[in-house]
Amino acid sequence: MANGMYRIQGEGAFEYLAKAQAQEREGKEVLHFEIGQPDFPTPQNIKDAAYESIENNFTGYVSATGILELKQAIQDEIEQTRGFRPSIEQILILPGAKPGIFFTMLGLVNPGEEVIYPDPGFPTYGSVVKYLNAGDVPIQLKEENEFRLNPNDIEERITDKTKLIILNSPQNPTGSVMTKEEIDKVAEIAEKNNIFLLSDEIYSKMLYEASFHSPAVRDESKERTIILDGFSKSYAMTGWRLGYVVGPEEIIERMGTLMINALSCTTSFVQKAGITALKGTQEPLMKMMKAFLERRNAIVEGLNSIPNFTCLHPQGAFYAFPNIKDTGMNSREIADHILYKAGVCCLPGSAFGEGGEGYLRFSYATSIETIQKAVQQIKDSFE
């Protein structure tokens, strides 16, 4: 195999899902908090749009960079939510947000060049850095700063090899949301040092008390900022595979060539469904966020009631990230203990990088009853 194949890594969520399923095969009940996907069905109007376009035989190859109608819907979306209108040539439609991470890094980073990214963070960032033989520069997110990436920490780690900074706000796995000042400062640092910025905004519609800001406002994604967003989380469409990037035209054009070679195009009728997601009623999203807010409050209260657990209030996404350092066990030991002794599957914080050691991640895409039951079972398991 090629050398890079020994460097690319899997995801802890799938490892723990497999462990939980093994328990279930033995007849044991497991309460699931490991996978980051909404437990709501895809809204009916979105499904109907896909059925209709299949019926109309919209099932062939389409443009490698995405269909015009969806790009136009994304132009409107970016204008409404980020305050500027990108050109059609700045938009690339992809099968999910994840290929946007892979293609952006493949398209920008040479071996030896450095990538700065949050730790704990979405595992794909570090994995692709290693795959590309690029320089790995994880920046520790600190609980004292409510897990928000501190722009000063970024500035300290910039070298003449730094090529790309990855931001993710609202963040996976901590649920932190960076302030406007912090986001603006990172955009300024990137500009001053002539560094590209990948802003993973997949949770931009999933906020509680905080408000969302994008660093792309500074250059309107014309110079250095690549916005990554998608439909998986906000519209409960994880299995459909639909996402997009907005970036400088010449980079997007080259990334379109990666699409031609790797995937030909994003599934035609899924793109039609995406138009309905953006243009249709946002009621299901609002209902989902109302439920997530109630669950967030329930899980934070519950986790804080477990001896030796403390948990901040996440401001976005649907993850709680309790500190378990006072238990005296590391995060894998605790995650295994909770799975095998309490029948609750969550993820060790260390699955998101060394900076996640001492924490657990609970995806609260589940009912209040399940949250309360899980908290009780975890408490009982320590008695």
Ligand X SMILES: Cc1ncc(COP(=O)(O)O)c(C=O)c1O
Q: Is 231 within 8 Å of 274 (Cβ atoms)?
A: yes
Nearest distance from C-beta of residue 42 to ligand X, angstroms: 13
Find residue 197's DSSP bridge partners: 165, 225
CA dihedral 300, 302, 303, 306 (to 10 degrees): 150
Nearest distance from C-beta of residue 172 to ligand X, angstroms: 4
Residue 60 tokens, joined:
């062939």
Residues that bind ligand X (CB under 6 A): 36, 96-98, 122, 168, 172, 200, 202, 230, 232, 238, 243
The alpha-carbon radius of gyration of the chain (Å, integer) is: 21
Residue 86 tokens, joined:
């990108």
Q: Is 296 exposed, middle or buried (0-12, 13-18, 19+ CB in 10 A)?
A: buried
C-beta closer to ligand X: residue 232 or 327: 232
**DSSP string computed for 107-125:** HH--TT-EEEEEES--HHH
Nearest distance from C-beta of residue 10 to ligand X, angstroms: 14
C-beta closer to ligand X: residue 122 or 309: 122
Neighbours of 374 (CB within 10 A): 26
Nearest distance from C-beta of residue 336 to ligand X, angstroms: 22
Nearest distance from C-beta of residue 95 to ligand X, angstroms: 8
Nearest distance from C-beta of residue 335 to ligand X, angstroms: 18
Nearest distance from C-beta of residue 51 to ligand X, angstroms: 22
Q: Is 67 within 8 Å of 266 (Cβ atoms)?
A: no
Nearest distance from C-beta of residue 97 to ligand X, angstroms: 4
C-beta closer to ligand X: residue 126 or 343: 126
Q: Is 239 within 8 Å of 108 (Cβ atoms)?
A: no
Phi, psi of 196 (to 5 degrees): -75, 155
C-beta closer to ligand X: residue 360 or 375: 360
Number of H helices, E strands in the chain: 12, 12
Residues 347, 336: Cα–Cα separation, whole Å? 9
- Which of left, alpha, beta for 142 (phi over 0: left; psi -120 to 50: alpha)? beta
C-beta closer to ligand X: residue 65 or 176: 176
- Residue, CB closest to ligand X: 96
